[in-house]
Amino acid sequence: MQRGVDDVSGDRHPEGSGGRSVDTLAALIRRRGTDDPDHHYLEDARSDRVLTYRAFAEAVQAWTSVFDDLGIAPSGAVLVDIGDPLSFAVVHLAALSSGRRAVPVDTGQPTSEPLRLADLLHGASLVVSDRADDATIAGTAAAHIDPATGHPTDVVAGTVPSSAPDALDTGSVVLFTSGSTGTPKGVELPEPQLVFVARAVADHNELTREDRGFNSLPLFHVNAEVVGLLATMVAGSTLVLDKRFRRTGFWELLAERRITWLNAVPAVLAVLAKTGPLDLPAGLRFVRSASAPLPDPVRAALGATPLVVSWGMTEGASQITATPLGSAPRPGSVGVPVGSEVQVRGEDGALLPAGEVGALWIRGPGVVSRYLFGRASERFDAEGWLSTGDLGSISADGWVSLAGRSDDVINRGGEKVYPSEVEDVLLGDARVLEAVVVGRPDPILGHVPVAYVIPQPSEDTAAASLVADLTARCAAQLTRFRRPVEIIVVPDLPRAPTGKVQRARVRAMASVE
């Protein structure tokens, strides 16, 4: 049977993939609630809580009525300060589908986080929170949510802005990304863009009504929102949500929940692969990995299970490229463009031939055309292309490979060292689980490469012996200027909530050692 996403009708955005009209999210939610009311949309991984498509549609409507009653203007900011995954999904998609700004809040941050985000947006209309401690903003409307039904409770009116500065004319999600400067840039993802990318993800992964996905990634990040919540809605399938990743009993949980695909990041898969080859559930159709390159030992641990490796960014609503299902693995590659265009440019801005490393630029319906309040406008050119800040190459047959971030490149006395080319050599030793190469300031050469390696936990090799072997390996496989001046064995490295290594903090570590 051919797999694919069914077409649904309803209110339409004017443009979609290949010129096809695309349903608005509101129409899609109504359609699912009417045509497949008892099918499970969301399930809680740790309890018997379920939201069917009908229950979800009713909860979204209840929240939309609250937004209307409070007088929240189109594109008014709704701060979603909710840790419970099912409750988050209701309020987040209600705000987006009703034409408001959905602004996810990291509940791992202090209770002052909603106020910080409101200041960045120059105002907020509503704070919805499920924290035990008060995270409301004085004078701003507030509400809580009943986790059993998803319906609003304890609604308190407040001052609601009559307009939203620099807002789009559609529902959107606003996320803040620091980039290399540390100054937050607001990325506003309009609903048509989000639905477009969600449909591209669902099509690419051949999702159907019968699929059951699993997501333990943070819902305040774009990956879980689009690849998880929205792609599942587009396909009319089911998504099992866990509040956080837990290694113990993970595969047993997936088998019990009859999971057919897993949404993960390399850090999660690396933890699962620590014990060696994995005994994956029989019904698991594929594993999707995003956010960072996947080390070869982790790929090997997944065995014959189909793997979808993707590359994306917040500005691209999570996915830009992905490996096709069933394709043979290509180490270092992140697949082919899916719904977007990708170019490789040299330092002079000219296009580079196949195989040459340069700056990666993207454009398409899945890519933003601006940042909030005119920030970083220099990253866009006159033809709508966006500089991603990533470096990479494109093969003759269109596969994209990454070489790192432009600000990660190490300039050693005028010679450029791409961290990925050194990390690949280090990861060639089966005893190495992860490797990160950064630049250390040097008074003569400017910067020199330093390597941090995390060994496989099953290995008993002494750190000194491993360092000696890796040093010899680098000497045999790398030209002199690419070789690390020091290799440091560590148990772990600083990580973001998604599990991705925070290279800026690692560079800071290297600078003081």
pLDDT tens for residues 358-415? 999 999 999 999 999 999 899 999 999 999 999 999 999 999 998 888 888 898 987 8
b vs e for 257-272, b when ≥16 Cβ sit within 10 Å of the residue's Cβ? bebbbbbbbbbbbbbb
> What is the pTM for the complete model shown?
0.84
Q: Give the pair of three-digit tokens for residue 44.
A: 């809680």
How many Å apart are CA 6 and CA 151, to the nearest integer?
A: 29
**512 Cβ neighbours under 8 A, 6+ residues apart:** none
Three-state secondary structure readout of 395-428: CCCCCEEEEEEHHHCEEECCEEECHHHHHHHHHC
User: Could you read off the pLDDT of 122-139 as tens digits, one per residue?
Assistant: 999 999 999 999 999 999
Domains, the chain, ranges and CATH?
Answer: 24-34+48-188 (3.40.50.12780), 409-512 (3.30.300.30)
Q: Of 265, 344, 268, 339, give the one whose Cα is nearest residue 308.
A: 265
User: Could you read off the pLDDT of 434-472 as tens digits, one per residue?
Assistant: 899 999 998 888 889 999 999 987 666 789 999 999 999
Q: Of 266, 291, 179, give the one whose Cα is nearest residue 454.
A: 266
**Residues composing the chain:** 513
Q: Say whether pLDDT at 73 is over 60.
A: yes
Three-state secondary structure readout of 266-333: HHHHHHHHHHCCCCCCCCCCEEEECCCCCCHHHHHHCCCCCEEEEECCHHHCCCCEECCCCCCCCCCE
> What pLDDT, on the 0 to 100 scale, is given for residue 183?
64
Q: Give the pair of three-digit tokens for residue 185.
A: 């840039």
Q: Where are the alpha helices (DSSP H) in 3-52?
A: 25-35
User: pLDDT higher for 44 or 181?
Assistant: 44
Any idea which residue has 């050119």 for tokens? 381
DSSP 71: T
- Residue 387: burial class (beta carbons within 10 Å; 0-12, 13-18, 19+): middle
Average pLDDT of the segment spanning 168-179: 87
Q: Give the pair of three-digit tokens for residue 70.
A: 């409070």
**407 Cβ neighbours under 8 A, 6+ residues apart:** 180, 389
DSSP 7: P
How many Å apart are CA 83 and CA 105, to the nearest integer?
A: 9
Residue 71: pLDDT band (50, 70, 90) is very high
Q: Give the pair of three-digit tokens for residue 59.
A: 């909860």
